[in-house]
Structure 1
């Protein structure tokens, strides 16, 4: 059901053309919705509220922007509801997805329905309208497979590519696609549908293949959102399980920088339509799981209990985004240094979860944030 305007009683979506954010109560979606509402746009959040904790994000958005945020509680698989939500949109940011590799392995059909059919529902709605509504799609680095052919050495508890080109710049968009696991297949297929609808129908679409995004409003779990998950477990004094040896490397990107990229893709959609870009923190923000744990121990001032288990299907030992192309095309600024961003997330989680005193001494946050 569409929320009513608090002043007129009319659905806010009817006042002007909104920005539609599917999965808009999720981590990235809620931050996008907040940014666009702050810039004066009416925003329609479309979300099934299936992920634990995201209802709090939606409540937060409504309180911050009571006259700008409308919501439809709906499933991306519901073709009629999706068509209704997108019917008046001025732009669409498609974040709604099944996001965990483990869940896709347990229920591949559901993964297919959400990630492929849900995306096609949205694309075909735009095709049947007028083909001029831009859509920016949240894809994943998993479209490149497990990258097993990248030869690696190990230095300081982190895998390092032997190829200096990859070591210095990361994985570029020219890397061949190689879908692994049902999740990789479903997100990869959706990625390709989004690009092809630009080619076949002229719809202005753009794909952002994300590495690891972290930051405020992230409800990290063992299956998805590992930076926040590690912090939550550490702050609560709970053990952390690492799958693999912990030396796997990712480039992490603060949510504020990710939102900048999505907004820039919309603003420059005429120049970037039909193209895919790798979005992450780049080589300067590349860290291993073990390196993050050491940093978290410095931030909270105590050891973190850690257990190890087997590698999980499709896990990449090394993935770092080559961000040169997206930074150039979208005019992006230098991303937030990871120590500063992680310290800010730790502070937010401490406050959000009522964990006063979880970080001892409090000055450690400022010390960590100053390191870059």
Structure 2
């Protein structure tokens, strides 16, 4: 546990921690950690995503004196500005998070991810408190220009350095799909507001985060989605050949990185970091699928579909910059993390069509 009265606390303004999207998967885990450490937390969330209202109810029950909420949309400029006016730090996780949804409704994707972020940045010009922004590895595009070899059940770069370390922050940006464009542009706006207006802000470009309180779907949160389907003995759709590789990171490690970024914001402001499990936690979809029978006691029924737009055949984060700058510990091994998620999901499994959210106190010790 970090020392909330440590040296960095002396330079902070009074007020609660503001988490936009704080009832979502990563947001509620971050809120729980910070409230447990003694911080007042203000959750700003529209509650549009299925399951997040239960997350918020659980947070309030677990931390009745520490957690309060503003139910509003990030596009509501006045309400957002009012929330920022009272806060000491902002973790900006509110977003439209699915590539597929962005292709169906690119305007909404733009308004939420880019215009919503600009609303926040403008409010921060009036109260320049620290900002940590949740970006995505999609800012690097589909990485189609990287020569790949197929080795057993996974794609690997032909380039030895990429294979060993992963994609670094010096990789050229290459926005694909409306989602990639909206998140990528917001990523760049955050960095520029740090440069142009002196807002202490940093960007975390996340790879695949997974863990408790994630209700994954076909469109987003594939690790959790695979487990949900397997636990219910329902077929799993795999788009492409299943040899796609991602570096997966347990949400507890992601939360630690967000808090470390806040603690060190004076040193890292204006910097973007790749945040993922790194080469040690790089897995193919098939690797995860192969673990499911052991975790669930059931065989897996697979169906294959066509490749989807913007899908990366291989993406692994080079985490060396983030680890050094933020002082991060080695991440949880992916098999341990997958077992942790399976235990959580097994405790709250509901009939097909819905995943019940276990009580927060029971699901998160």
**TM-score for the superposition, normalised by structure 1:** 0.90
Q: Which residue of 2 aligns with 1:120?
A: 118
Q: Which residue of 2 aligns with 1:350?
A: 346
Cα distance between partner residues in 2 of 1:155 and 1:348 = 33
Q: Equivalent residue of 1:148, what SS?
A: coil
Q: How many pairs does the alignment contain?
A: 338
Query: 2:179 matched to 1:154?
Result: no
Q: Which residue of 2 aligns with 1:76?
A: 74
Residues 137-174 of structure 1, C-alpha deviations (whole Å, 9 max, x = no match): 00000000000011111112100111000000000000
Corresponding residue to 2:247 among 214, 226, 251? 251
Cα distance between partner residues in 1 of 2:346 and 2:297 = 14
Corresponding residue to 2:283 among 280, 287, 301? 287
Cα distance between partner residues in 1 of 2:89 and 2:37 = 14
User: Aligned-pair distance for 1:315?
Assistant: 0.3
The answer to whether the Cα contact below 8 Å between 2:167 and 2:315 also exists between their aligned partners in 1 is yes
Q: Which residue of 2 aligns with 1:189?
A: 185
Q: Which residue of 2 aligns with 1:361?
A: none
Q: Equivalent residue of 2:43, what SS?
A: strand
User: Aligned-pair distance for 1:298?
Assistant: 1.9
Corresponding residue to 2:84 among 61, 83, 86? 86
Cα distance between partner residues in 2 of 1:68 and 1:302 = 41
Cα distance between partner residues in 2 of 1:188 and 1:251 = 20
Residues 297-329 of structure 1, C-alpha deviations (whole Å, 9 max, x = no match): 222223100000011000000000000010000
Q: Equivalent residue of 2:303, what SS?
A: strand
Corresponding residue to 1:65 among 59, 63, 66? 63
Query: 2:48 matched to 1:50?
Result: yes
Q: Equivalent residue of 1:45, what SS?
A: strand
Residues 313-354 of structure 1, C-alpha deviations (whole Å, 9 max, x = no match): 000000000000100000000000000000010000000225
Q: Which residue of 2 aligns with 1:364?
A: none
Q: Equivalent residue of 1:250, what SS?
A: strand
- Superposition map of 1:117-266 within 5 A: 117-129=115-127, 131=128, 133-266=129-262
> Deviating runs (4+, > 3 A) in structure 1?
none
Q: Which residue of 1 aligns with 2:274?
A: 278
Residues 21-72 of structure 1, C-alpha deviations (whole Å, 9 max, x = no match): 0000000000011011011000000000000011110011001100000000
Cα distance between partner residues in 1 of 2:146 and 2:293 = 31
Unaligned runs of 5+ in 1: 1-15, 356-372
Cα distance between partner residues in 2 of 1:57 and 1:124 = 29
Query: 2:111 matched to 1:103?
Result: no
Unaligned runs of 5+ in 2: 1-13, 352-365
Q: Bigger CA drift: 203-212 or 294-303?
A: 294-303
Q: State the structure with bigger RCO (CA 8 A, min sep 6), 1 or 2.
A: 2
User: Aligned-pair distance for 1:278?
Assistant: 0.1
The answer to whether the Cα contact below 8 Å between 2:74 and 2:94 also exists between their aligned partners in 1 is yes
Q: Equivalent residue of 1:178, what SS?
A: coil
**TM-score for the superposition, normalised by structure 2:** 0.92
Q: Which residue of 1 aligns with 2:5?
A: none
The answer to whether the Cα contact below 8 Å between 2:231 and 2:298 also exists between their aligned partners in 1 is no
